[in-house]
Amino acid sequence: MSNQTFFLDVNIPMYAAGADHPRKSACVWVMQEIARGRVNAAVDTEIIQEILHRFGAIRQWEVGSTMAESLLDLVPTVYPVHAGDLRKAINVFRKYGPQGITARDALHVAVMLNNGLTHILSTDTHFDLVVGITRIYLGTEDQARLDLEQFNVPD
């Protein structure tokens, strides 16, 4: 197992649990690696809110609740959002918003930076813009394996 902790963006479990999609197999593989204990992952409280918000919007409350609970069971580290994170998110959004980073993802970046995390598992390319953050590319399962290999994540 790698000692590196990766921030897990919400799109990974969403693609993994969702309908067939070109990114699904890579996301399923990453979630399996987390479940096997080969990849250390962390989320913030906003990730859980995103799941509940999405499934609430499509009136699938039970699915959203189950997915949120499952993610909490799978990922033991959940960072709270503090006032300092909000202030940093404002600065991240001010700098990177015009380049495409969303307000919610600016908050994730702030939580990551304030907790010493530098790597994110995400399909969102706008994280590539942020100085100090390295996104692990999840275009295909093979590419995810190659990118995670550098962190000694076993096959």
> In sequence order, what are the beta bridge partners of 42?
7, 77
Beta strands in the chain (DSSP E): 5-8, 40-44, 77-79, 119-121, 134-136
Question: What domains lie within the chain, and their CATH numbers?
Answer: 5-79+119-149 (3.40.50)
φ and ψ at residue 30, rounded to 5 degrees: -60, -45
Q: pLDDT tens digits for 68-85?
A: 999 999 998 999 999 999
Structure confidence by residue, pLDDT tens digits, 100-129: 999 999 999 999 999 999 999 999 999 999
pLDDT tens-digit map of 23-57: 788 899 999 999 999 999 999 999 999 999 999 99
